[in-house]
Chains A and B, each alone.
Chain A
């Protein structure tokens, strides 16, 4: 698609000011600088080209050059990506970054190539926690009987059901009204999404379970990749990596802003003991970690835990 104004195309479902979008724009600037203007990136934010699953498919067809997606849509393409999406696997952001910035992350990114995607880098997605309209969640017992919205993903359904709640798959744009009318009791997400979707206006209890620290992924179409010289490929890889610290800085600022907005509105926020929840996950992990390669990656990730948090 380089015929279009000479720029490479990139899609994102988040709005233009969102850290992932800004990071890819920064990536494009680095790319332009380092190729003396030969390669640049045209960003299409706000989901205007389709949802993540759809634009991901389009990227594999070579219809888009770059794409920033959550790990979830990759789970239904490549089983190895599931390991980084396991609930309560990462004990902290540092643990997640440490594991994915190194060889484990590289192996996961490399596994995308046979599906027509070049995995370039991981971005932060923060920690997802539960929020609801009923009351604070302290233990899994508090979740019994709650109808909690999940994205259409087997992993999320299994996780929420294992915790004793009723997992309710629902498109994101129906969540606000469903919370307001009581079709569902709650949902789960990170601070920025809890805030930007205005769900905090109706769900007044946010319980910091931090059950998922699954990252965002920045990918390139293999079809577009193969058109680049090996020198250009190296620049693309390096520029993507160089955009990661910038993204994480923006992300931390965004989380802080969202947290302040939510707290200022009077939402009740409580800490929970993750150990009470982790115990319920073992059976669920076993049903998703089925190959020896997956098992090996999980074990390597677990060995990187510090046990401090």
Chain B
């Protein structure tokens, strides 16, 4: 990709002996794109971010920004804005001092700095709080200061390391849209590290799902969710039902007592079948040929207000079905016999 703004080429990080923390990672990020690095803790996503920012040394591979190799450049020469998980605000400076720091390092004039700091604080809705100390601010406000401080230097790339994980749920959603809006408005290439799949799906242009130091799948949120490349991705991004089975010569899959058909054909052999719980239905009518079905008994019904989840025992195979609640629909009783149905196109099969 010729117009890629940030390129990682076979990037590797080893800490002593043992398997590498990041192995042969290659990625190309477009200008103005927000790319999420998503994965469980220890998958190497933060290490990757630290290598991009120059806070960790790559043991192999290259990092290119706008075509220039920055792999061995120290962090203070990389021109990247970083927002840390704990915000890392300087406690001995006030808010304005924190935001001004990067501009002072760039030897800008006092008047220029003052004007830029004011604009940056206005951008994150902290007008007039410039003289507060970081400890006098709420978590959300500290987060905004960290964002303003990283953006005011107009960095070539913005790196966000789990910036929302220390906020409560409501604030997290608010900051999610706010960060995304600012990022779009400034058109700044951004890498966003998170272990929260909802965050990644909601904010990112593309998501790189990482596992044990390697790239598992790279794609848009839609691709990642609807067409996961591996059972790991399917399992990590969203809730999912999982059955182990085998595909016969006709393309039918036998998973325990169930005979299913999957969205895509494949060779005979062992397969893992996965279905999203909310794509399963408790069937009331006769079903068409484009549907898989299973008969079972409700073992548990969990009502959480907007969603009702039922665990259904289909002759030994446990399937979870979720649906939105409705005051007209009664909550099924445990022990009730039901028929489950779901589209063949919603049935993902992975060759083992």
Instruction: Decide if A and B are genuine partners.
Output: no
